[in-house]
Amino acid sequence: MLTSKVSCCLVAHLAILLGLLLLGTCRGQNWSSFQNKHIDFPKSSASNPNAYCNLMMMRRNLNPKRCKPLNTFVHASQSDIQAVCSREGTRYKDNLYDSNREFPLTDCKNVGGNPPNNCNYVGTPGTKKIRVACENNYPVHFELVHTTG
């Protein structure tokens, strides 16, 4: 009686632990989280690029526990960005694809502040090719931006 209660409890705890582990490894690696982190189209308005980054990083809840050091927002439609995984992209290696064309975007670099709502960013607008990791033809991870060349 007692032993079965204990082992049941243990199993429940292990199941919870496993669930948390799975959640952890999958965190942020899907199309919907990609859109939240990396797509802002049409571009939200702000008085300047720094203010834009401060606002967007807060609005998208990207700094829950720490100020994320770097993040890029691409100002193109979901379908244009998704297409990088197929006809609008060139495979770099593995599941990484480079966009064939340049996208307007804003790079946000953290320069201090406090999470979750007072992280300070320097925003740098640009137009660059992007590299994304694709799963089932959907971008799930933003790899980097290429300097134009």
Q: Which amino acid appears at position 104 of this protein?
A: P
In the complex, what is the shortest distance from the CB of residue 66 to ligand NAG, in angstroms, rounded to a whole number? 16
Active site residue 13: no
Stretch of residues binding ligand NAG (CB under 6 A), selected from 22-30, 69-77, 94-102, 115-123 = 22-30
Stretch of residues binding ligand NAG (CB under 6 A), selected from 6-14, 25-33, 47-55, 73-81 = 25-33
Does residue 27 touch ligand NAG according to CB under 6 A? yes
Does residue 147 touch ligand NAG according to CB under 6 A? no
Stretch of residues binding ligand NAG (CB under 6 A), selected from 14-22, 26-34, 63-71, 122-130 = 26-34
Query: Which is nearer to ligand NAG, 80 or 135 (by Cβ)?
Result: 135
Q: Rounded distance, CA 73 to CA 28, Å? A: 15
Can you tell me which of 28, 101, 111, 137 binds ligand NAG, judged by CB under 6 A? 28
Active site residue 75: no
On the 0-12 / 13-18 / 19+ scale of CB atoms within 10 A, 10 is: exposed
In the complex, what is the shortest distance from the CB of residue 140 to ligand NAG, in angstroms, rounded to a whole number? 9
Catalytic residues: 38, 141
Q: Which residues bind ligand NAG (CB under 6 A)?
A: 27-28, 30, 32-33
